[in-house]
């Protein structure tokens, strides 16, 4: 079942497997929140859209590669965030839930 709030998303991190019916973008964020950057990145790099670019940007920012992150933020038509990574994670997840 798709989470309806960020808190429900956070609670889903107790699961062993990501729910199969979730959209790919939400799965990517779930993997990232679980500490599996590689699985998250694999999904994001296959998403050829502004949303995929945003996820890709966030992941490279988290990795500490600000130059590469900046490139992806520009493709996503987003400014490099001043927020924390946790705040951006919440922003992305909330956006995904609200637009699902």
Asked if the structure places residue 49 within a domain, the reply is yes
Residue 61 lies in a domain: yes
Mean pLDDT, to the nearest integer, of 20-35? 97
Whether residue 13 lies inside any domain: the answer is: no
In a domain, 41, yes or no: yes
Q: Which alpha helices (H) appear in the chain, and where do they start and end?
A: 6-12, 24-33, 37-44, 50-63, 66-75, 85-99
pTM strictly above 0.75: yes
pLDDT band at 1 (very low <50, low <70, confident <90, very high): confident
Looking at the domain assignment, is residue 38 inside a domain?
A: yes
Q: 86 is in which domain, residue-wise? A: 24-99
28 falls within a domain: yes
- Per the structure, how many domains does the chain have? 1
Q: Is residue 11 part of a domain?
A: no
% of the chain surpassing 90 pLDDT: 98
The rounded distance, in Å, linking the Cα atoms of 45 and 8 is: 26
């Amino acid at each position: 079942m798709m989470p309806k709030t960020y808190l429900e998303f956070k609670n889903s991190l107790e699961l062993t497997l990501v729910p199969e019916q979730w959209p790919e973008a939400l799965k990517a964020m779930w993997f990232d929140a679980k500490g599996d950057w590689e699985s998250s990145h694999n999904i994001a790099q296959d998403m050829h859209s502004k949303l995929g670019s945003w996820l890709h940007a966030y992941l490279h920012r988290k990795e500490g590669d600000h130059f590469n992150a900046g490139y992806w933020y520009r493709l996503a038509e987003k400014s490099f965030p001043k927020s924390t990574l946790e705040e951006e994670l919440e922003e992305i997840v909330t956006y995904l839930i609200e637009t699902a």
